[in-house]
Structure 1
Amino acid sequence: MGPEDSQLGMERRSGVALWRQVADRIRHGIGGGTLGDGHKLPPEIWLSEHFGVNRHTVRAAIAALVQEGVLRAEQGRGTFIESRKRLAYPISARTRFSTGMQHQTRDRRGILLGHQQEEASARVAEALALEPGAAVLRLETVSEADGRRVGRATGWFDAVRFPGFEKAYAETGSITLSFARFGVNDYLRRSTLVSARHADTDDLENLKLSPGAIVLVAIAINDDLEGRPIQFAETRFAADLVELTVET
């Protein structure tokens, strides 16, 4: 490792590809205002010398950030920084995807990727106050805002209380509207646990991210107004598109 690698935190034997490390440092530099002029990225040769890597590595990093919507490459002109602000996703007593982003986006919809009835694991059973092995419905969904895929969720529901919930969601594209069909017209967020990690294979495919991208993970339980849990969900948000805000 050269002195420049050490200074920038580049790890050549870390198991994380160099292009991904460069991409992460470009993203952080843009966010911190230390890289670029807020409008255009420095030339490839400058970035290559700055990070102590070859230009092929820089190009791979830039290509990944273009795919993730952080940068925009224009032939013959250079690479520009996309100035779009992250969408603020509010976490509150009544967390709803559609209403939470209604003032930030024009079009919002949910897409059903798949569903399956299965036996509740110990984790799911505890969250939904069911016996282990009880029948639950698992939904795999994606949320879009203005044509961009911003979140991917896995949700579990009591299959006895909500038979055919997947059909309601396929028709409405909304968890809230689907609950309403079963007489649950309002519900409250009991808890949300937030963390961050690298996107897995399914995240990369369904959120259209490049390898090594970061996702914010929100694990949540929703209750009806009588305090009975009705939904246990794990949602992965593209970190370059969404920021989670906690409202009190």
Structure 2
Amino acid sequence: MDTPLPRDAGVAAWKQIADALEAGIAAGRPGPGERLPTEAQFAARFGVNRHTVRRALAALAERGLIRSAQGSGSFVEAAPLRYPIGARTRFSEIVSGAGREAYGDLIAATEVPAGAALAAALGIAAGAPVLEMLTRHRADGTPISMGRACLPLPRFAGIDRAYAEAGSLTRAYAAFGVTDYRRLETRITARPADAAEAALLELAPGRVVLVTESVNLDQHGVPIQATRSQFAADRVELVVTG
């Protein structure tokens, strides 16, 4: 990664930089999850301007080799997280089991009326109030997924505050008498991330997200949550279990 760029190689400078960085990443220098040098440092190292470096980094991000976090820099992508989806799916347990630190961020919470499809999924009347929470879930600081979870009111009034404090829906549920819950069903599709999703998940434009739609039941078989989640496709391997 320290080799000066040959000026007569017939290859654009940004492509030479991208190739050099890719070779370094493949050799583990830097390793998964590690921060890359700054654009200014790369520019000085290769003797180019920052725009050239930025184009090289964008090319690597588009290929899923690195991610860029606003205000934090660029990082080498870690190996995809094995993410089982079955009757008992818990983000915190899955991430912790992989030896990584799990945490959830509450982005927004709003009371909205349930549409017909959502009402049917939760077993409530159309137009009944639900709490819609927009959340983001991270492993070792890397965004893995985001989602909109809808929970019936007034049963779960205030659970957004409990979630914001605990960083885990499982722990927040415990404060509302839900000692366990299970997944009724999950539907999975894929599409390019939109601009808002790309920003929250720190994805390059056009990267793919895996979209899951699910319904959870409490320990008594009562529907408590309908969620649509978007997973960064390069960062997970969804494994459907029995």
Distance 2:64 2:156 in 1: 38
Whether 1:207 and 2:201 are equivalent positions in the alignment is yes
Q: Give the drift of 1:139.
A: 0.0
Of the three residues 15, 20, 26, the one matched with 1:39 is: 26
The residue aligned with 2:230 is 236
The residue aligned with 1:66 is 61
Q: Percent identity?
A: 41
Aligned length: 192
Secondary structure at the counterpart of residue 234 of structure 2? coil
Distance 2:164 2:57 in 1: 37
Q: Is the 8 A contact 2:108 2:133 kept in 1?
A: yes
TM-score (norm 1): 0.70
Of the three residues 213, 219, 228, the one matched with 1:219 is: 213
Q: Is the 8 A contact 2:62 2:205 kept in 1?
A: no
Q: Give the drift of 1:62.
A: 5.8
TM-score (norm 2): 0.72
Runs of 4+ in structure 1 deviating by more than 4 angstroms, as ranges, are: 59-62
Of the three residues 154, 157, 166, the one matched with 2:151 is: 157
Distance 2:124 2:59 in 1: 43
Over the residues paired in the alignment, what is the CA RMSD in angstroms? 2.9
Distance 1:89 1:190 in 2: 17
- Cα separation, partners in 2 of 1:209 and 1:68, compared to 1, 3 Å: farther
Note the alpha carbon deviations across 1:196-217, whole angstroms, 9 max, x for none: 0110121011111111110011
- Cα separation, partners in 2 of 1:195 and 1:60, compared to 1, 3 Å: farther
Gap regions ≥5 residues in structure 2: 1-22, 28-50, 68-75
The residue aligned with 1:4 is none
- Code of the aligned partner of 2:115: S
Q: Give the drift of 1:231.
A: 0.4
